Amino acid sequence: MRLLFKQRFFSWLDSYDIFREDGEVVYTVQGQLSWGHCLKIFDREGREIGTVKEKIFTFLPTFEIYMGAQYMGCINKEFSLFHPRFTIEYNGWSVEGDWVEWDYRILDAGGREVAVVSKELWQWTDTYVMDIERPQDALGVLMLVLAIDAEKCSRNQ
């Protein structure tokens, strides 16, 4: 399954549309006014199905992941000098790849490739391609990519 993650051009808060290859919107992401990043994920019918929320007052960025109201895990940025690294306490997943250029793979605990994520260059807004092995992992992959993107945006500001 391939999803395209595209930031909206005119938006005061983080807003994204998540498309299938045929152009159909699968998810909508809307940033909420809050301390730190707070991203709400909505399905096609407008129902809130997930949240990525940055914890505040932490030494290094930490993002909590919720499906509905249920806490699923978190992503913590680790201290590193050259390449950003994260501890992922979510679905037993890990991430490998080139964080700086935004090309990476998400792997499960057994080493199976869950998804491949790459950033498209020369776009007006942030645009990522997510190739997801199993459709049932799509929302989980999206929330992980949102957390990593939010951390990078915070670091670059």
* Cα first-last separation, the chain: 33
Enter the DSSP assignment of 135. Answer: G
d(CA 3, CA 128): 8
pLDDT digits (tens, 9 = 90+) for 18-55: 999 898 999 999 987 666 789 999 999 999 999 999 88
Q: What is the mean pLDDT of each run of 10 residues along the chain (157 residues)?
A: 76 75 92 80 95 81 89 80 72 79 85 91 74 95 88 59
Helices of type H across the chain: 138-156
